[in-house]
Structure 1
Amino acid sequence: MRREPGPRAGGRRAVVVLRIVAVTALPWAWFGLRDALGLAGDVLAIFLPALAVVAAVGLVVVNRRLGVPPAVSVLLAGAVAVAGPWTPADAGAVAPGRGVTVAGANVTGMPGTLPALRGVDPDVLAVVEDAPELDAQLAPDRPYHLAARAPGIGVYSSFPLRPLERPGPDFPGIRAVVAAPTPFVVYALHVPKPWVPVGSGYFTSPANHHRLVTEVAARVARERRPVVILGDLNSTDRARDYRLLTGGTGLTDAMRDGWAGPTSVTTWLPLLLRIDHVLVGPGWCGDAGRRFTLPGSDHDGVVATVGPCS
């Protein structure tokens, strides 16, 4: 004769179910807590794909049967966090005849990137990790040129450039007025990597990285002209600094006119980091945003047509 489970067994089963439900729901708390976590959230965002996979595998190893629902939830939440900022989000239509093609490229000092840069042929090109020999070849391509040897930034323009600010302790880039048919201020940036400084690499602490991006946001908020931000911000689109720029200052991500994707390639590709950006200020829109390959570099370049909204 089959015995019915007693109240105690039923209670234990209910507790197990509640635990599974709680653990399954827990990964989705990331979206509500990520900014509140501050610097810890910034670091976790960098490693999020790897952390999601490790957590999912760990859950299944601990309990092959009951760990499957939480593991699937972790992977799904991680996929949404990573790919959500890549999905198309209307960047608006540029007014006909008023668009300017802009591009940003971290070339890792590789002269072999020159054909790719010339192939894109933008009106305004911001190159970071710009090597002197590459600069010497790019400068004659356009009539107007600004350069800063440290941290290695070059701006090459078909329109006159008037420098406003060069790299300093509080500003990792070049800021200049571009005298296009509709003048705008370009920010050509290379923000240091947010990590513990090691060796001679271009690193800074996560706290100082956040401070530098906050300084950029403050400058953008004070601008009276349209703004275009180009370059390697070393700010992944799933982290707080990206949301500070696109939310707090009202900048629009021109790369999301279509599907975006990771721009940190080769060594760090498994982390799926989109850290190279084209951002435009209020009143401006973006069309035809896309990535392009830079042979030899550990980054993809980014290019888009930007200008006053139609």
Structure 2
Amino acid sequence: MRSWRDVDDLFSIARPGVAALSFVVAVIGAWWPGLPAWTVLVLVVAGVALLVWSWWPRRRAVSPPPAAGVAAVRVLAANCWYKNRRMRGFAASIVSHVPDVVVVSELSHEVHDVLSGAFEHHEVLTIGGPRGHGVYSHFPLERLPDPAGPGEVLHVRVHGPFRFQLLAAHMPRAVVFASPSLGTARLDTCRDGIAELAELARREPHTVVAGDLNLTDRQIAYRWLTSGRLDAMRTGRPRTTFPGWPWYPVLAMRIDHVVVPADWSVQGARVVKVRGSDHRGVIAELRRPPE
């Protein structure tokens, strides 16, 4: 551990798991001879408190109402999962949500083949494997210099009904002992990467940050990223976006995001299923206020 922020990150990520462990120990303790009843009660109360604290978002985000006559741009962020056995099904489910702009992490050749035919414009960092990453759009895309931080980040300007910059990001998973080949990085490295995205978004007011950020809404870097900004997912029902294995939902891993300027209107934001992936996608209709 390098700082108190590492401890805070680990506890924020693992908090629901600690709650579940409290329940397990309480059940075992209830049958353990000689264990005081108050100890079991404390474990149960602690477990309930931790679960509510983790599952219930800190606050629901409130979006400004849409301005009259301003067209919307539907943005979808989804992780394909490089082990997906239904790549073309994943691509078909993306198209079925009728987005205007799509951010795809862990992009495969099969998904690229479908999406590059379904969308008129695209920019990719690479195709294939866990580092595959691309943006697909019905509107023209202008490539901008990409940040040099961790993970895969595509920086583009979208020329749609209104112009905006898009930081399409797939950040590494934060761990204590990193293995870059497994898509992980140290806790402080991940925080620095999110801080860089937050700073870039502050410099250019009309910027959207979208993708698999591997960042729960309980972590300190999430608060940096959303300071003065709006997480589209939080304007709707903030469900877990990383169900993963059967027991993962208990961890309430809301780690995929579409973050927009606070004065933008967000409508219809929701977490959606995408075929074959271990993630769910986040989609939202965005409207920039008239100048």
Query: Do the two structures share a fold, i.e. TM-score over 0.5?
Result: yes
- The one-character-per-residue Cα deviations of 1:1-54 (angstroms, maximum 9, x if unpaired) are xxxxxxxxxxxxxxxxxxxxxxxxxxxxxxxxxxx9411110111111111222
- Coordinate RMSD, CA, aligned: 2.2
- Count of aligned pairs: 272
Q: Does the CA contact (< 8 Å) of 1:161 and 1:176 recur in 2?
A: yes
- Please, which of 212, 216, 236 is the counterpart of residue 258 of structure 1? 236
Is the contact made by 1:170 and 1:215 (CA closer than 8 Å) also made in structure 2?
no
Deviation at 1:306, TM superposition (A): 1.0
Query: Identity of aligned pairs, percent?
Result: 30
What's the counterpart of residue 196 of structure 2? 215
Matching residue of 1:94: 66
Question: 1:252 Cα shift?
Answer: 0.2
Q: Which runs of 5+ in 1 are unaligned?
A: 1-35
1:58-98, Cα deviation, whole Å (9 max, x unpaired) = 46728442124423431232123212228643223232442
In the alignment, is the contact (CA less than 8 A) between 1:148 and 1:167 conserved in 2?
A: no
Summarize the Cα distance change of 1:84–1:137 in structure 2 as closer, same or farther, 3 Å threshold: same
Residue correspondence of structure 1 range 1-310 to structure 2 within 5 A: 37-58=4-25, 61=29, 63-85=35-57, 88-96=60-68, 97-109=70-82, 110=84, 111=87, 112-149=89-126, 151-166=131-146, 168-170=148-150, 172-195=152-175, 196-198=177-179, 200-224=181-205, 226-247=206-227, 250-267=228-245, 268-309=248-289
Given residue 104 of structure 1, which amino acid in structure 2 is its aligned partner? A
C-alpha separation between the residues in 2 aligned to 1:286 and 1:147? 26
Shift of 1:161: 0.8
TM-score, length of structure 1 as denominator length: 0.81
Higher helix fraction (1 or 2):
1
Q: Which amino acid in structure 2 is aligned with residue 146 of structure 1?
A: E
After superposition, the Cα gap between the structure-2 partners of 1:168 and 1:54, relative to the gap in structure 1 and judged at 3 Å, is same
> For each residue in 1:242-289, what CA deviation from the matched residue of structure 2 results, as whole angstroms up to 9, or x when unmatched?
111112xx1201112221110111223332201000110132121111
Q: Report the Cα distance in structure 2 between the residues aligned to 1:148 and 1:172, rounded to whole angstroms.
A: 8
Paired amino acid for 1:99: A
3-state SS of 2:249 partner: helix
Change (3 A) 1:72 1:270: closer
User: What TM-score does the superposition give when structure 2 sets the normalisation length?
Assistant: 0.86
Q: Secondary structure at the match of 2:139?
A: coil
User: 1:102-140 CA distances to partner (integer Å, 9 max, x unpaired)?
Assistant: 000001133130111010111111101001221122112
